[in-house]
Chains A and B, each alone.
Chain A
């Protein structure tokens, strides 16, 4: 495919190589062994996330993201991570709190939907310490899909004509069949994907209920994949009804059992978001000293996610959040 001549091409930085052959070589050597991959969140983060890695989180906004892994990344003070921010809200807020990223593909960061903007996220992104490249949600999603398909790019009809395009790292190309102008979005192979699911077996077969957002493609695109799960179930659950297998075990490197693992976010069919705690985050971010104390209290000063859960919510509040959830299992 030849780039269109006479067009002003985007100027954004491409953080990860879209080379499908290099990815094939990586996946060639990825273990297919059906072995017990259960481990603690600290062990998974220590083994699979290294300074400088490019990471991507599943879920969307305040829904079904892996709080436990994100807190551990901040608590262990990882450095110079790259991050794919497709419609991230509280997950981005946590990473921005720890100042752990130095480059970011942006579709949606800093914003908290109806809850406003993150003051600390803004300060961080306005500080000049994070290199950024712009995308749209679909543009970034199709980058995962290209990687999932094992091709170096996909053509798309979004971002055209906009400054989102100008500051992206896509390329304008000509459709060889009709001559139309298209955007090529480069495959995105994250070093590490992090996805929270409803249930998984010990090998990593995993089930997502409700909308899957872009997680099925993200799971395929990620070189290494950490799954946190509300429940551990028998493999027979999947053998009996393969429709439940959202993510097959051979894509998964770590299975961490973390009940309420998306707290303070919403886990469809399980529990609703803790709007009181999320509002407290936004409020306390306005003052840097108070926010530092807040982070010490909830992340740096505790040993694990379970302690944070007890401090921030407690059993009674968690039960309330279960009753506030509107999607019920039939």
Chain B
């Protein structure tokens, strides 16, 4: 993943952009992969009191090693609670969880996410994907839902093949009409090209910052729906040397998410 600056990779830029969204003294249920690296980076830098919850039941974990699975031993280090999945989900349902961080195979302009199947017929999928896991629960119940996505027209689509996890569904008011808790929904999408938010009136996805070297045209061409752009469009801040060092030496020294060190240099 080539970036304008050989100092860092695109994945590192995305992880740092994601980490910036997590506030200190807030609660967050974190999913596997890049979001976990972001949460661990945030906990080691800007948000030391971030309360990290895992859907398998670990709560207030202090991460020592990047987890492979959201249920593994690494999610339970120095935790205050070794609880159950339903305890974590019920905390979300009570309104106690601020953020969640998800991924998916497809996303649309209302932030609806698909991680269930590709194809036009549920009974005969072209590609069977895992399904919701906890994603639907977290997207339904947490106050602010974030997602990390590779940005291309196959993933940023006019209509997802299957709404696994609800975004703003069909637009303003649709979540509430469906019975979902008020004032919840998609908050940020961090892609390989930029950071997107959602227009408060139309609930449509809009670009808030472009990654360094990326143009509006690049994003428009890589998006299958009409993307909105914020009036004050910014450039995503580059990772600092300190962030990069912590990421590479403390968060993911094995390169599980970042890739192997030799590949990173080439990128």
Q: Which of A64, A137, A217, A269 has the most CB of B within 10 A?
A: A137
Question: In the docked arrangement, what's the CA distance between A215 and B256, Å?
Answer: 29
The answer to whether B164 touches A163, judged by C-beta atoms less than 8 angstroms apart, is yes
Question: In the docked arrangement, what's the CA distance between A126 and B169, Å?
Answer: 27
Which residue from chain A places its CB closest to the CB of B131 in the assembled complex? A106
Could you say which residues of chain A place their CB within 8 Å of the CB of B128? 110, 122, 125-126
> Mask for B76-97, Cβ within 8 A of A = 1, else 0?
1100001111100100110000
> Mask for B28-40, Cβ within 8 A of A = 1, else 0?
0000110000000
From B74, B126, B130, B177, A110 is in contact (CB under 8 Å) with B130
List B217-253 residues whose CB lies under 8 Å from chain A.
none
Question: In the docked arrangement, what's the CA distance between A171 and B177, Å?
Answer: 16
Could you say which residues of chain A place their CB within 8 Å of the CB of B130? 108-111, 117
The answer to whether A114 touches B32, judged by C-beta atoms less than 8 angstroms apart, is yes
The answer to whether A137 touches B137, judged by C-beta atoms less than 8 angstroms apart, is yes
> Mask for A98-141, Cβ within 8 A of B = 1, else 0?
00000000111111011101000010011010000011111101
Which residue from chain B places its CB closest to the CB of A4 in the assembled complex? B179
> Mask for A62-81, Cβ within 8 A of B = 1, else 0?
11100000000000000000
From A113, A141, A327, B86 is in contact (CB under 8 Å) with A141
The answer to whether B136 touches A164, judged by C-beta atoms less than 8 angstroms apart, is yes
Which residue from chain A places its CB closest to the CB of B123 in the assembled complex? A128
The answer to whether A113 touches B68, judged by C-beta atoms less than 8 angstroms apart, is yes
**With A158-B140, A210-B82 as given contacts, are A134 and B116 in contact (CB-CB < 8 Å)?**
yes
Of B57-65, B189-197, B202-210, the one with at least 4 CB within 8 A of chain A: B57-65
Report the contact-size class of chain A (Cβ under 8 Å from the partner): 35 or more
Report the contact-size class of chain B (Cβ under 8 Å from the partner): 35 or more
List B149-170 residues whose CB lies under 8 Å from chain A.
162-166, 169
Q: Is A190 an interface residue (CB 8 A)?
A: no
Question: In the docked arrangement, what's the CA distance between A2 and B122, Å?
Answer: 28
The answer to whether B93 touches A62, judged by C-beta atoms less than 8 angstroms apart, is no
Could you say which residues of chain B place their CB within 8 Å of the CB of A275? 68
Could you say which residues of chain A place their CB within 8 Å of the CB of B42? none
The answer to whether A117 touches B137, judged by C-beta atoms less than 8 angstroms apart, is no
Q: Is B134 an interface residue (CB 8 A)?
A: yes
The answer to whether A182 touches B86, judged by C-beta atoms less than 8 angstroms apart, is no
Could you say which residues of chain B place their CB within 8 Å of the CB of A108? 130-134
Q: Which residues of B contact A (CB under 8 A)?
A: 32-33, 54-58, 64-65, 68-77, 82-86, 89, 92-93, 116, 122-137, 140-141, 162-166, 169, 174-175, 177-181, 256-257
Q: Which residues of A contact B (CB under 8 A)?
A: 59-64, 85, 87, 89, 106-111, 113-115, 117, 122, 125-126, 128, 134-139, 141-142, 145, 156-164, 167, 172, 180-183, 209-217, 266, 268-269, 272-273, 275, 325-327
5 other A-B residue contacts (CB within 8 Å) besides A162-B165, A213-B85, A326-B74: A114-B257, A125-B125, A128-B123, A157-B181, A158-B141
